[in-house]
Amino acid sequence: MRSIWTGAIGFGLVNIPVRMYSATHTSELDLDMLDKKDQSNIHFKRVNATTGKEVAWENIVRAYKYNGEYVVLSDADFAHASPKKSKIIEVTDFVQIDEIDSIYFENPYYLEPEKSGVKAYELFREALTKSKKAGVGSFVLRNKEHLCVLKTSEKVIVLNTIRYQEEIRDQKELDLPKGKAIKPGELKMAMSLIDQLTHPFSIDKFKNTYSADLLEIVKKKAQGKKPDYPKLKVTHRKTDDLMAQLKASLRKAS
């Protein structure tokens, strides 16, 4: 794996030098975009809006429009905006991990100790494990400040970036049911179905079957065969027969 960030965890007065690695990779098919007419590859270019000419990466700068005028920012400007946060994951709080709603979670990363930080890393990891707590902090990655939580997973410290409160949309914008139409018997039956389908969580039982199914279509088309497309549509109907549907679901689950 290739590290995407190097710096340190700041834990009180202790600095733990670490390297950061992405903890995930995509499992979807790598699809290319082609021209429908002749199946030529589609390329995207960075074009000057005034001249229409392509601009090389080395000639592209980033800027912010302030009072109607663009102010160009250099790499030094980004680095000096918060030099400490650019190199330190400053842990300021500790919480129970289940206190953080899943809506806030973004991307997971592995933290690996540098040779000079092995002992401090191990101490911090074992303290997190024994306390059953997660550290909350912030740092800068790719010119953006991230809020994050640090927790352990087996022998590694995992950093999850999390969203700020202001990044979560207000639920009041949604047209949601008021919870007054449900009958006690229907709720009891729904609870029974939940109980019947409750099992210890094991991530390895869940597979990305969509990519596999899509690959089968690719193989058939490559062989000149016409794929069989199953017909399935969502039926929109009134739910007056909820009890009957729940009873049938319970029989199917048993």
pLDDT tens per residue across span 175-204: 988 877 788 888 888 888 888 888 888 878
- Other CB atoms within a 10 A radius of the CB of residue 137 amount to 21
Note whether residue 109 is domain-resident: yes
Note whether residue 205 is domain-resident: yes
Q: Are residue 195 and residue 111 in the same domain, yes or no?
A: no
Query: Between residues 183 and 35, which one has the greater pLDDT?
Result: 35
Note whether residue 218 is domain-resident: yes
Mean pLDDT, residues 158-178: 92
Note whether residue 153 is domain-resident: yes
Which of these three, 101, 135, 166, is where a domain ends?
Answer: 166
Note whether residue 177 is domain-resident: no
Calculate the average pLDDT of the chain: 87
Range of the domain at 218: 184-253
Confidence of residue 238 (pLDDT cuts 50, 70, 90): low
Q: Are residue 162 and residue 205 in the same domain, yes or no?
A: no
Q: Are residue 145 and residue 210 in the same domain, yes or no?
A: no
Confidence of residue 82 (pLDDT cuts 50, 70, 90): low
Cα distances from 247 to residues 60, 82, 181, 191, in angstroms, run 62, 59, 19, 12
- The domain tally of the chain equals 2
The CA angle 22-148-207, to the nearest 5 degrees, is 45
Handedness of CA 122, 126, 127, 133 (dihedral sign): positive
Note whether residue 149 is domain-resident: yes
